[in-house]
Amino acid sequence: MTITLGVDVSKAKLDAALWLAQRRKWYTKAKVDNQLAGVRQLLNWMGAKAGVSASECRVVLEATGVYHETAAQIFHDAGCEVVIANPKRVRDYAKGRGLLTKNDAVDARALARYGAEGDELVAWAPPPPEIRTLRALVARVDTVSQDLQREENRWEKAQAIETPSTVRDSLQRSITGLRAERERLLQAIDDHYDQHPPLKRERDQLKTIPGVGDASAHRMLCLLKRHHFQSARQAAACAGLIPIEFVSGTSVYKRPHLSKQGDPRLRATLYMAAIVASRHNPALRKVYLDLIARGKSKMSALGAIMRRLVHIAFGILKHQTPFNPALVSKYA
């Protein structure tokens, strides 16, 4: 791509660097409001400087929670090729090019260079509305569940020490309210599936995998339907389940470990699913025991099962078929 815009995203502002490879020229624009009007202003500025249509431009933004989503949506709707880059990979790339200074302007240039030189970058497309809603509901359940756990811990402490009755009553009311709210949200998720039969069918197909329940199915749908992965390996990498090696010569060796990039809540859910699958899913239990027999640690073997679960889920959604234990090796 000869025209690349790197956009460094913060909560309130955007810093942009436009790289015109054929002219070997940089243009920069700093501190644009990270709002609808500001992004449109940046889009018009890019078109004026590049002198081409938006469809000929690649825009690279870092994944920054939710703060990049408005800009990504506007650039995508305008016809740009949008890439959402992993911040750690971009930073490692910048260091490799000798860009040791870190500030908004340098980061924007690094993003533009990364986008111009990356041949295997995956173009981003907005997830379907039903996936955005499901993701928001699941995130809200997580928040309420965490609040409930904290209040239950406080109640347990209040039981162990002398606590005023007013505080105890407050804790009980809070716990009751949070439990009711969690149940209401779980029901809202069920209702959401009922309103979208194709999504409900895919959830039910994922739940045919022994070890995968509602929580795992929700999160894998949010992962696999939110991105346009070309392979199961890409999906596993996005979930942070790809093993990383650190070996050099004969004297430098570190035990391989998971990259742990992406959503930690997804990995936590998949970890529990992997434990169940390694015991009660005959096909995956065989994989697990084979790895142990080859000298792998239990944690390493469970990591492999987590990765295999993502591969299986990818295959199920791709082919729209229930889990088939005879095809476990094919899912890899």
Choose the weakest-confidence range: 174-178, 198-202, 301-305.
301-305
Q: Pinpoint the alpha helices (H) of 79-196.
A: 87-96, 104-117, 129-160, 165-195
Choose the weakest-confidence range: 57-66, 141-150, 159-168, 200-209.
57-66
What is the identity of the amino acid at 94?
Answer: A
The counts of H helices and E strands in the chain are: 13, 7
Do 237 and 307 meet the contact criterion of CB atoms below 8 Å apart?
no
Task: Note the maximum CA span of the chain.
Answer: 74
Decide: helix, strand or coil at residue 116. Answer: helix
Q: What is the pLDDT of residue 256?
A: 61
DSSP assignment string, 252-283: EEEEEEE---S-HHHHHHHHHHHHHHHHH-HH
Q: What is the pLDDT of residue 218?
A: 93
pLDDT, one tens digit per residue, over 209-221 is 888 899 999 999 9
19 forms beta bridges with 4, 26
Q: How far apart are CA 210 and CA 276, in angstroms?
A: 8
Q: How far apart are CA 39 and CA 14, in angstroms?
A: 8
Average pLDDT, the chain: 85
Q: What is the pLDDT of residue 247?
A: 45
pLDDT at 223 over 70: yes
Using only C-alpha atoms, the chain has a radius of gyration, in whole angstroms, of: 23
Average pLDDT rounded to a whole number, residues 22-48: 85
Length of the chain measured in residues: 332
Q: What is the pLDDT of residue 204?
A: 94
Question: Could you state, in order of their start, the residue ranges of all structural domains in the chain?
Answer: 3-117, 129-195, 214-331
Q: What is the pLDDT of residue 253?
A: 46
Q: 3-117 — its CATH code?
A: 3.30.420.140
Give this prediction's pTM: 0.77
pLDDT, one tens digit per residue, over 237-284 is 877 777 665 544 555 445 665 656 667 888 888 889 989 988 988 888
